[in-house]
């Protein structure tokens, strides 16, 4: 047995635009946490993806409010939060991105937001053995999102797990928590979470090994749960009674248990769109293995953009087992939405804020 003498941590050379201290016995003004605070959180471009919760001393925790942390509580200045932050030295990704195959799909087994293709994709991956566990977001009686581990396709029959919540969920902290277990994890997230995941994977090979499948959801913006809840309550829609939320054709639609609907234009929701979403141009999750969303397909179908060979294998498996009905995806509409998101969310390092927002966009 050969025992290596020393081991070397990830390089943080790219952080060196401030005279930053790589490690400190106690946090100082020059420690690397400051980069995250100044360049990301205070600059208002934090996407609330939660990648920085990798923090080894659990100083950064993800809550239902803008990111905030106190380095005096034990920060060691390791700089890993900055090293993995997708919004540090932010270069916006945009467009549809490369894909191998584009189609519209509808699951025969599950009921979801539209075609329930995310559930179907993960269920098939679990069946194939590509992944051991998938991180899904379920909701409680207040429509509050929380993360659940799904280990068998049957668990996805629960309607509380499938369907969109339109609020930030702590998927990333959960991923960091279970990454050492050795299970292969299927990851579902908004494009910003996928960017975070890819950055972690690039820095830390452990994540590359343990997260073989990452599914992106089409996304124009996401909300804090308490803001969304209060906002809708003020306008007379109680999320406690809701069964489904949806964004279609520029309207936020809440469907209640008794069948009635509440509709509000997304334009009017501008006040509760988080700051970080104003600079995001990635509609389709360019870096993911597969992107799924309702845009660009008929009602009841979901658009699926397969980008990597892993996802292609899962898709072939689904086709072979005839779990899905397929249709044709209208890539023009997806392309239009991508362009639209670039238009409404302009970003340049000099800092510009997008004024208006919205249009149709939906995430499953």
**Which residue lies nearer to other proteins by CB, 23 or 142?**
23
Which pair of structure tokens corresponds to residue 256? 């209640």
Please identify which residue in 35, 54, 116, 228 interacts with other proteins, judged by CB under 8 A: 54
Is 19 near other proteins (CB under 8 A)? no
Question: Of 198, 218, 190, 215, which Cα lies nearest the Cα of 340?
Answer: 218
Please identify which residue in 147, 178, 204, 310 interacts with other proteins, judged by CB under 8 A: 204
Is 79 near other proteins (CB under 8 A)? yes
Stretch that binds other proteins, among 3-11, 220-228, 257-265, 324-332 (CB under 8 A): 3-11
Question: Of 356, 331, 363, 279, which Cα lies nearest the Cα of 99?
Answer: 331
CB contact at 8 A, 280 and 190: no
Stretch that binds other proteins, among 15-23, 216-224, 258-266, 318-326 (CB under 8 A): 15-23
Stretch that binds other proteins, among 11-19, 117-125, 261-269, 271-279 (CB under 8 A): 11-19
CA dihedral 321, 296, 241, 161 (to 10 degrees): 30
Question: Of 261, 266, 313, which Cα lies nearest the Cα of 121?
Answer: 313
Please identify which residue in 35, 46, 80, 192 interacts with other proteins, judged by CB under 8 A: 80
* Beta-sheet pairing, 251-256 with 261-265: antiparallel
* Beta-sheet pairing, 145-150 with 133-139: antiparallel
- Encoded one letter per residue, x for contact with other proteins by CB under 8 A and - for no contact, window 142-181 reads ----------------------------------x--xx-
Which pair of structure tokens corresponds to residue 160? 């509380």
Least separation in angstroms between CB 78 and other proteins: 4
State which of positions 205-234 bind other proteins (CB under 8 A): 205-206
Cα separation, 359 vs 340, in Å, equals 8
Residue where the block lists tokens 């659990």: 58
Q: What are phi and psi of 198, to 5 degrees?
A: -65, -35
CB contact at 8 A, 307 and 293: no
**Which residue lies nearer to other proteins by CB, 87 or 176?**
176
- Number of residues lying near other proteins (CB under 8 A): 32
Cα separation, 44 vs 33, in Å, equals 16
Cα separation, 225 vs 214, in Å, equals 24
Q: What are phi and psi of 3, to 5 degrees?
A: -105, 120
Please identify which residue in 29, 30, 38, 56 interacts with other proteins, judged by CB under 8 A: 56
Least separation in angstroms between CB 11 and other proteins: 6
**Which residue lies nearer to other proteins by CB, 61 or 264?**
61
Is 299 near other proteins (CB under 8 A)? no
* Beta-sheet pairing, 101-107 with 302-306: antiparallel
Please identify which residue in 35, 67, 83, 215 interacts with other proteins, judged by CB under 8 A: 83
**Which residue lies nearer to other proteins by CB, 8 or 91?**
8
Residues of this chain that bind other proteins (CB under 8 A): 1-13, 15-16, 22-23, 54, 56-57, 76, 78-80, 83, 176, 179-180, 203-206
């Amino acid at each position: 047995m050969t025992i290596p003498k020393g081991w070397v941590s990830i390089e943080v050379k790219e952080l060196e635009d401030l005279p930053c201290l790589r490690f400190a016995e106690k946090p100082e003004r020059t420690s690397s946490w400051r980069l995250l605070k100044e360049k990301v959180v205070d600059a208002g471009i934090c996407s609330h993806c939660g990648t920085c919760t990798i923090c080894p001393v659990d100083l950064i925790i993800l809550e239902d409010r803008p990111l905030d942390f106190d380095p005096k509580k034990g920060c060691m200045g390791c700089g890993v939060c900055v090293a993995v932050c997708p919004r540090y030295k932010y270069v916006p990704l945009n467009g549809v991105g490369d894909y191998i195959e584009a189609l519209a799909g509808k699951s025969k087994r599950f009921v979801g937001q539209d075609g329930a293709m995310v559930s179907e994709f993960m269920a098939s991956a679990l069946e194939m053995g590509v992944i051991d566990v998938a991180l899904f977001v379920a909701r409680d009686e207040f429509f509050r999102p929380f993360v659940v581990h799904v280990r068998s396709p049957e668990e996805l029959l629960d309607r509380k797990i499938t369907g969109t919540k339109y609020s930030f969920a702590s998927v990333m902290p959960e991923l960091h928590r279970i990454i050492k277990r050795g299970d292969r994890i299927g990851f579902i997230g908004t494009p910003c979470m996928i960017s975070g995941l890819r950055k972690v994977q690039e820095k830390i090979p452990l994540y590359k090994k343990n997260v073989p499948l990452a599914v992106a959801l089409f996304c124009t913006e996401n909300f804090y749960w308490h803001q969304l809840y209060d906002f809708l309550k003020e306008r007379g829609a109680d999320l406690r009674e809701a069964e489904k939320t949806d964004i279609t054709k520029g309207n936020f639609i809440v469907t209640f248990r008794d069948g009635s609907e509440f509709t509000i234009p997304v334009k009017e929701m501008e006040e509760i769109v988080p700051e970080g979403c104003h600079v995001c141009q990635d509609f389709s999750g360019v870096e993911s293995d597969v992107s799924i969303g309702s845009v660009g397909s008929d009602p009841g179908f979901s658009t699926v953009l397969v980008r990597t060979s892993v996802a292609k294998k899962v898709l072939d498996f689904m086709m072979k087992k005839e779990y899905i009905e397929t249709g044709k995806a209208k890539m023009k509409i997806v392309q239009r939405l991508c362009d639209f998101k670039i238009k409404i969310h302009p970003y340049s390092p000099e800092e510009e804020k997008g004024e208006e927002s919205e249009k149709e966009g939906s995430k499953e």
